[in-house]
A = this chain, B = another copy of it.
Amino acid sequence: MSLEIRKAVESDAATILELINGLADYEELSGMVTATEEQIRKTLFSDQPYAHCFLAFWQGKPVAYALYFFNFSTFLAKPGLYLEDLFVQPDWRGKGIGKDLLLTLAREAKAKNCGRMEWMALDWNTRAHDFYRSLGADMLEEWKLFRATGESLDKLASL
């Protein structure tokens, strides 16, 4: 089989950064990326990493990644697995790589005794919505995301 999926290790930091930049290019948000290889090493591969990553290789070439962390359900008092990024480089789409990564994460969630797995999709991406629903996931339409970042967060912290 030409597809291999494995957990990322510290020496993959440059590859992860390349894929993050691939995602940013795709979303036309390249200007938003301030991540560096060193920051990735520090945040993903320390003793207490903030997040974890799976890489997918097609014929040996890294072409996709799934980055996740553990969130928490208070009602269950159990961790959940939150998928922050799932990205397949455009030239390698249509081979089921994204689905394989998603299923890998579902198995990881079960292995880590997680009560749930969550992720977000853009509202216009109805093809993705249909795909996720076909896999049995629910869309929680009643929740809205709020964010304070940069100057807004500074202001909030100084009130």
Measured CB to CB, the nearest residue on chain B to A83 is B146
Categorize the interface residue count of chain A.
35 or more
Of A106, A124, A150, which is in contact with the most chain B CB atoms at under 10 Å from its CB?
Answer: A106
Among A1-9, A55-63, A66-74, the stretch that binds chain B is A66-74
Whether B144 contacts A43 by the Cβ 8 Å rule is no
Q: Assembly of this chain: how many copies?
A: 2
Whether A72 contacts B69 by the Cβ 8 Å rule is yes
A interface vs B, CB < 8 Å?
20, 23-24, 29, 32-36, 39-40, 43, 48, 50-51, 67, 69-79, 82, 84-85, 102-103, 106-107, 109-110, 114-124, 129, 132, 135-157, 159
